[in-house]
C-alpha cells in the first residue's frame, strides 16, 4: 500500500451570534489567535488559523458577514457569503446546546443545506457547542433536533471550554478534506499568527490601486520571518521574506511596475504597517513569482483567490 495522500483545504465556522464560534475556533487551533485586522473584508478570506500536520493542512477562515447577526437573521445571505461558503471544503455549523434550535438556526440551516447539496459542495459538520452546560438528556435531544435540520455529514457534541471532543471534531473535519498539497508554509503560522497578518498586509498593499486589474489574482505567502542575528535589543530588526504569487507574467509586470517603482511603494507601505503591527523595525524582502505550481489544480487556485 502506498502512503495516504496529503490533504488540504478550507473550513469555516458558522452559527447564530453567541453560538461559540470564536471560542471553538481558538480551541481547534489550540492557542488563542487574534488575527482580527480591524479591517474586515479587505481580503477575500481572513485566515483565522492554520492546523498543519505531516499529512494535512486545514485552514480556518472567517466567513464575511455570516458571523454578523443582523446580516444573518435579517436578510437573505448575500452573494459574497454564499460564494465563500461554496468555496470552502467543510462548514462547521455551531448550535449551542443551552439554547433550543430556533428560527435563526433554521434559517442558517436552510442556506447551508442548499450549499451542501450543490455539486461538489462543501460538507457540513454540525456541532452542539457548549455541551458542558447541559445534562445528557438535554444534549441527546439537542443532537436529534440538529440532525433533523439538514443533510449534515456528521453531528457531534463539543465543549470548547472543557476541551471535550475538540480533537474529535478536528479529526472529522480533516477527514472530509480533499487530497491536495500543503498551501501555506510549515508550522510557524500556527505558532505565529503574525505571519498571516503580515501576508495580508502585503497583499492589501500590493492590490492598492490595481484591484481591477488583479481581481483575486494574488496570493501572498510569508516564506521566512525572524529576528536578524547579532543585533542588540535596541537595534532589533525582523527579516521577512515574502513571495507574491500571480497568475500570469502580465500581472507580475503590474505588481512590479516600471523599473520596480510600484513594488518599492508596495514594500514601503506594507513595511510601515508591519512595523506598527510587530513593534519592531522590519526588513521586507518581496519576490513576485508567476505561480506555475499553483496552476496545476484549478480547484486549489480558486480557493486561494486566483
Ligand atoms: N460553558 C461554555 N461556554 C462557552 C463555550 N464556548 C463558548 N462559550 C461562551 O459563549 C459565549 C459566546 O462565545 P463566542 O465564542 O464569542 O461565540 P461566537 O459565536 O463567536 O459569537 P459572535 O461573535 O457573537 O457570533 C462566550 O461567553 C463564551 O465564553 C463552551 O464550550 N462552554
Please indicate, yes or no, if residue 181 is contained in any of the structural domains: no
pLDDT at 29 over 90: no
If asked whether residues 111 and 243 sit together in one domain, one would say: no
- Are the C-beta atoms of residues 8 and 52 closer than 8 Å to each other? no
**What ipTM was assigned to the predicted interfaces of this complex?**
0.98
Weakest-pLDDT range from 140-154, 160-174, 212-226, 231-245: 212-226
Residues 6+ apart with CB under 8 A from 103: none
Q: Strands of 123-129's sheet, edge to edge?
A: 47-53, 56-61, 7-15, 90-96, 123-129, 154-157
Grid cell for residue 88: 470552502
End of a domain among 147, 175, 203? 175
Rounded mean pLDDT of 183-189? 55
Please indicate, yes or no, if residue 272 is contained in any of the structural domains: yes
CB of 20 shorter than 6 A to ligand 1: yes
Q: What pLDDT score was predicted for residue 216?
A: 66
End of a domain among 175, 201, 224? 175
If asked whether residues 129 and 273 sit together in one domain, one would say: no
pLDDT at 297 over 60: no
**pLDDT-based confidence at 42, cuts 50/70/90?**
very low
Q: What pLDDT score was predicted for residue 269?
A: 94
DSSP letter at 196 equals H
If asked whether residues 206 and 159 sit together in one domain, one would say: no
We report the CATH number of the domain holding residue 166 as 3.40.50.300
**Which of the listed residues 13, 16, 22 should we mutate to test ligand 1's pocket, taking the one with most ligand atoms within 8 A of CB?**
22
- Are the C-beta atoms of residues 203 and 220 closer than 8 Å to each other? yes
pLDDT at 6 over 80: yes
We report the CATH number of the domain holding residue 213 as 3.30.300.20
Q: Which domain holds residue 83?
A: 7-175
pLDDT at 120 over 90: no
Please indicate, yes or no, if residue 61 is contained in any of the structural domains: yes
If asked whether residues 154 and 196 sit together in one domain, one would say: no
Coil vs helix vs strand at 12: strand
Please indicate, yes or no, if residue 182 is contained in any of the structural domains: no
Please indicate, yes or no, if residue 187 is contained in any of the structural domains: no
Indicate the average pLDDT of the chain. 79
Q: What pLDDT score was predicted for residue 37?
A: 32
- CA dist 218 and 301 (Å) reads 10
If asked whether residues 162 and 197 sit together in one domain, one would say: no
Our count of domains for the chain comes to 2
Cell 525572524 sits at which residue? 226
Weakest-pLDDT range from 5-14, 86-95, 216-225, 255-264: 216-225
Please indicate, yes or no, if residue 183 is contained in any of the structural domains: no
If asked whether residues 22 and 143 sit together in one domain, one would say: yes
If asked whether residues 125 and 197 sit together in one domain, one would say: no
Own/partner pairs, 73-76, CB within 8 angstroms, 24+ separation: 73/16, 73/104, 73/107
pLDDT at 215 over 80: no
CB of 65 shorter than 6 A to ligand 1: no
If asked whether residues 151 and 291 sit together in one domain, one would say: no
b/e burial code for range 224-240 (CB count within 10 A of at least 16 → b): ebeeeeeeeeeeeebeb
CB of 130 shorter than 6 A to ligand 1: yes
If asked whether residues 201 and 161 sit together in one domain, one would say: no
pLDDT in tens, 234-269: 888 999 999 888 878 898 999 999 999 999 999 999
Coil vs helix vs strand at 79: helix
Please indicate, yes or no, if residue 84 is contained in any of the structural domains: yes
pLDDT in tens, 97-111: 999 999 888 888 988
- Say how many residues make up the chain: 306
- CA dist 157 and 97 (Å) reads 8
Known binding residues for GTP? 15-22, 62-66, 129-132
CB of 157 shorter than 6 A to ligand 1: no
If asked whether residues 147 and 11 sit together in one domain, one would say: yes
Please indicate, yes or no, if residue 168 is contained in any of the structural domains: yes
**pLDDT-based confidence at 62, cuts 50/70/90?**
low
End of a domain among 140, 175, 210? 175
If asked whether residues 212 and 249 sit together in one domain, one would say: yes
Q: What pLDDT score was predicted for residue 132?
A: 97
If asked whether residues 252 and 213 sit together in one domain, one would say: yes
CB of 63 shorter than 6 A to ligand 1: no
Amino acid at each position: 500500500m502506498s502512503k495516504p495522500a496529503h490533504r488540504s483545504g478550507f473550513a469555516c465556522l458558522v452559527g447564530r451570534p453567541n453560538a461559540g464560534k470564536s471560542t471553538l475556533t481558538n480551541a481547534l487551533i489550540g492557542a488563542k489567535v487574534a488575527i482580527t485586522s480591524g479591517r474586515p473584508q479587505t481580503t477575500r478570506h481572513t485566515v483565522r488559523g492554520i492546523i498543519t500536520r505531516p499529512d494535512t493542512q486545514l485552514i480556518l477562515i472567517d466567513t464575511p458577514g455570516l458571523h454578523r447577526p443582523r446580516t444573518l437573521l435579517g436578510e437573505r445571505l448575500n452573494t459574497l457569503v454564499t460564494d465563500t461558503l461554496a468555496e470552502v471544503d467543510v462548514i462547521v455549523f455551531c448550535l449551542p446546546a443551552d439554547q433550543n434550535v430556533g428560527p435563526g438556526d433554521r434559517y442558517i440551516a436552510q442556506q447551508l443545506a442548499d450549499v451542501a447539496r450543490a455539486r461538489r459542495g462543501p460538507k457540513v459538520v454540525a456541532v452542539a457547542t457548549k455541551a458542558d452546560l447541559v445534562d445528557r438528556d438535554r444534549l441527546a435531544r439537542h443532537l436529534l433536533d440538529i440532525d433533523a435540520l439538514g443533510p449534515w455529514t456528521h453531528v457531534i457534541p463539543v465543549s470548547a471550554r472543557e476541551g471535550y471532543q475538540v480533537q474529535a471534531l478536528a479529526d472529522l473535519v480533516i477527514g472530509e478534506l480533499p487530497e491536495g498539497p500543503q498551501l501555506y508554509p510549515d508550522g510557524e503560522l500556527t505558532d505565529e499568527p503574525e505571519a498571516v497578518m503580515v501576508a495580508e498586509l502585503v497583499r492589501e498593499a500590493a492590490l492598492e490601486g490595481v484591484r481591477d486589474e488583479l481581481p483575486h489574482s494574488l496570493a501572498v505567502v510569508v516564506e521566512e520571518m525572524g529576528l536578524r542575528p547579532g543585533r542588540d535589543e535596541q537595534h532589533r530588526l525582523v527579516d521577512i521574506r515574502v513571495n507574491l504569487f500571480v497568475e500570469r507574467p502580465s500581472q507580475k509586470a503590474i505588481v512590479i511596475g516600471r523599473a520596480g517603482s510600484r513594488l518599492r511603494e508596495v514594500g514601503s507601505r506594507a513595511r510601515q504597517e508591519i512595523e506598527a503591527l510587530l513593534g519592531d523595525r522590519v526588513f521586507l524582502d518581496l519576490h513576485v513569482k508567476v505561480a506555475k505550481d499553483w496552476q496545476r489544480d484549478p480547484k486549489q487556485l480558486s480557493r486561494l483567490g486566483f
